[in-house]
Amino acid sequence: MSTQPIGPIDSSKTPRYAGPASFARLPRLDQVPRADIVVAGVPFDTGVSYRPGARFGPTHIREGSRLLRPYHPALDVSPFEIAQVADAGDIAVNPFDIHEAIDTIQAAALELTAGGARLVTLGGDHTIALPLLRAAAERHGPVALLHFDAHLDTWDTYFGAEYTHGTPFRRAVEEGILDTEALSHVGTRGPLYGKRDLADDRRFGFGIVTSTDVYRQGVDDVVAKLRDRIGTRPLYISIDIDVLDPAHAPGTGTPEAGGITSRELLEILRGFDGLNLVGADVVEVAPAYDHADLTGIAASHVTYDLVTLLATRHAQSENSTRHRSRH
């Protein structure tokens, strides 16, 4: 591929607050010949157990992304120059039928990745991680999972319902779509229903880096430990924005005190440069509870870092393919 990627709208020519918001002012998927990385929204919150509103998350994250700039100094890369990144808009899912919604999301994720593109999804509540993981496993086999969240989301049922935002990772383990040698929760905290929650979670294969561990051990140690566990496995990263302290991300449905900071989250993500990331999501942004767009801005920066990790990875594999074909 020798043609230059089409980048974001030039904010020195068109003010960043003008016009409709695509993620980071990137082109829409229908405006590019092909894409390496696709950002898509899933406006869906039928799976929530407490405050609703994450169906408005994708729009809010896109609005919060208008100020993002094209060069990432911490990773020393211009992600939109080394990969074609595009916004596929929102996946239209049925808010009244969770089973149909899950199927629709899975099918859309498969369609968006059919040409080899990697997908970053903007939620939506955490239910959507299940169909996204199914699609990722269909493409790559069982995936390693890094799950950033205040919550375990490995509970069994709510009111008898199996498909909710508190249960996606238990279903995923049961379905065999996760690589159980490399599953980690990061940022976990807050009261549980009982000790058994932790025993179940451990039995499924999860390791836990609590929010307090991040504070006591520091970002570098946490990154080293997680990288070690993941190795070269295909990796999916799921980020529930409630992993951040409510001071950093009040706009979410099930907030818990004592969370990590947005600086810690971004620094941990940057530590995963070079890993075999195959897909990611940022979920549980509920703008009705946000203040001064704090949560939308945090989520947009987190998404930018995920896109950057995928872009770097894309460029590395392009280089090695070109290198191989020369021999």
Ligand X SMILES: N=C(N)NCCCC(=O)O
Compute CA 71 distance to the chain's CA centroid, rounded to the nearest angstrom: 20
Tell me which residue of 201, 213, 268, 205 sits closest to 239, measured CA to CA. 268
When asked if residue 87 is in the footprint of ligand X (CB under 6 A), the reply is no
Which member of 213, 284, 290, 305 binds ligand X (CB under 6 A)? Answer: 284
- Total residues contacting Zn ion by CB under 5 A comes to 7
Minimum distance between the CB of residue 305 and ligand X, rounded to whole angstroms?
A: 21
Residue list for the binding site for Mn(2+): 126, 149, 151, 153, 240, 242
d(CA 152, CA 208): 9
Of residues 153 and 290, the one with the C-beta less far from ligand X: 153
Which member of 153, 179, 264, 273 binds ligand X (CB under 6 A)? Answer: 153
φ, ψ for residue 99 (rounded to 5)?
-65, -45
Report the site for Zn ion in 11-50 (rule: CB under 5 A): none
Minimum distance between the CB of residue 242 and ligand X, rounded to whole angstroms?
A: 5
Residue list for the binding site: 126, 149, 151, 153, 240, 242
When asked if residue 126 is in the footprint of ligand X (CB under 6 A), the reply is yes
When asked if residue 151 is in the footprint of ligand X (CB under 6 A), the reply is yes
Under 8 Å between Cβ of 291 and 250? yes
φ, ψ for residue 147 (rounded to 5)?
-115, 110
Which residue has tokens 């069982």? 142
When asked if residue 281 is in the footprint of ligand X (CB under 6 A), the reply is no
d(CA 275, CA 145): 12
When asked if residue 295 is in the footprint of ligand X (CB under 6 A), the reply is no
d(CA 221, CA 215): 11
Report the site for Zn ion in 109-148 (rule: CB under 5 A): 126
Minimum distance between the CB of residue 113 and ligand X, rounded to whole angstroms?
A: 23
Q: In what order do the strands lie in the sheet with 143-148?
A: 85-90, 37-42, 118-123, 277-283, 235-240, 143-148, 178-188, 206-210
Contact residues toward Zn ion (CB under 5 A) are 126, 149-151, 153, 240, 242
Contact residues toward ligand X (CB under 6 A) are 49-50, 126, 151, 153, 165-166, 240, 242, 254, 284
